[in-house]
Amino acid sequence: MFKTRLLSGIMLVIIALVTVITGGDVLFFVLLAVSLLGMTELYKVFGIEKKPPGTVGYLAAIAYYALLYFQQYLPGEKLNWFMMLFMAFLICQMAVLVFAYPKYNTQQILAAFFGMFYVAVMLSYIYQTRILLGGVFTVWLVFVCSWGCDTCAYCVGMLIGKHKMAPILSPKKSVEGGIGGILGAALIGVLYGLAINYWGSADADLLTYAVIGAAGGAISQIGDLAASAIKRYHNIKDYGKLIPGHGGILDRFDSVIFTAPIIYYLAILL
């Protein structure tokens, strides 16, 4: 099991390196595919992955990515186009509820609407961060914060963890581990900043990278626990089996989903 998990992890890192470094259309379409796969995993939990609520969700995700791809060519205020899509998506989901009544319950309709935002929209911020000025460096903070925090939290929790963070939801996670994860992510952010300044001729402000690392690390833990909460409520161990030893897309990218938009906005603000 450990060998399988290790090999899968190495493959994930290689894929991430190739797609994120390449950027552009490669990263865009990989994220679109990953988003649709992740949505499918979530929709399976609610039994709508092959039914109209799910289909409407997939179409909305594709339309969202299309707007994102062609946004520079959109006339008028770009935000209005995205808001129009979200309103149309909501109306279509409610139309499914009305015209198929009582075939689908409100939980399924809400899950279909939520899933598009939770997976497709939030993951798209990896691409949006990548296309920022200096995004070739900034985008890696998404993974540095989420996966770095996870590793540091695990190590600190194993060594000195005593107080349970969420005893019912995740008994193995500790407050000490959570704090260690945040501090570790901040430290890794600084080390990453030093590395890109030295080898990449970047101009990263180390204090900013520390703040981004800490904030990203904190929010990544919420993303991890949120994904676990959904699984607990529906009595499932993993969202899928796509990644051997890791589960599905949502099992591996649960923290990245939350971290990506935070890194994007912090990069703009700071």
- Give the separation between CA 114 and CA 110, rounded to whole angstroms: 6
How large a percentage of the chain has pLDDT more than 90? Answer: 61
- pLDDT per position as a tens digit, 192-214: 999 999 898 888 889 999 999 99
Q: Closest by alpha carbon to 223, among 64, 38, 89?
A: 38
When pLDDT is cut at 50, 70 and 90, the band that residue 162 belongs to is: confident
Helix runs in 23-51, H state only: 24-45
Q: Closest by alpha carbon to 116, among 47, 57, 65?
A: 57
Asked if pLDDT for residue 235 goes beyond 70, the answer is yes
Asked if pLDDT for residue 148 goes beyond 90, the answer is no
Asked if pLDDT for residue 1 goes beyond 60, the answer is no
Buried b (16+ CB within 10 A) or exposed e, 108-123: bbebbbebbebbbbbb
- Give the separation between CA 107 and CA 98, rounded to whole angstroms: 14
At which residue do the structure tokens 């509820």 appear? Answer: 97
Asked if pLDDT for residue 245 goes beyond 70, the answer is no
- pLDDT per position as a tens digit, 97-117: 999 999 999 999 999 999 999
Average pLDDT of the chain, as a whole number = 90
More confident residue, 259 or 159: 259
At which residue do the structure tokens 């689908």 appear? Answer: 104
- Give the separation between CA 224 and CA 218, rounded to whole angstroms: 10
pLDDT of residue 237: 84
118 SS3 class = helix
Asked if pLDDT for residue 2 goes beyond 60, the answer is no
- Give the separation between CA 11 and CA 22, rounded to whole angstroms: 16
pLDDT of residue 108: 96
- Give the separation between CA 53 and CA 49, rounded to whole angstroms: 8
- Give the separation between CA 164 and CA 176, rounded to whole angstroms: 8
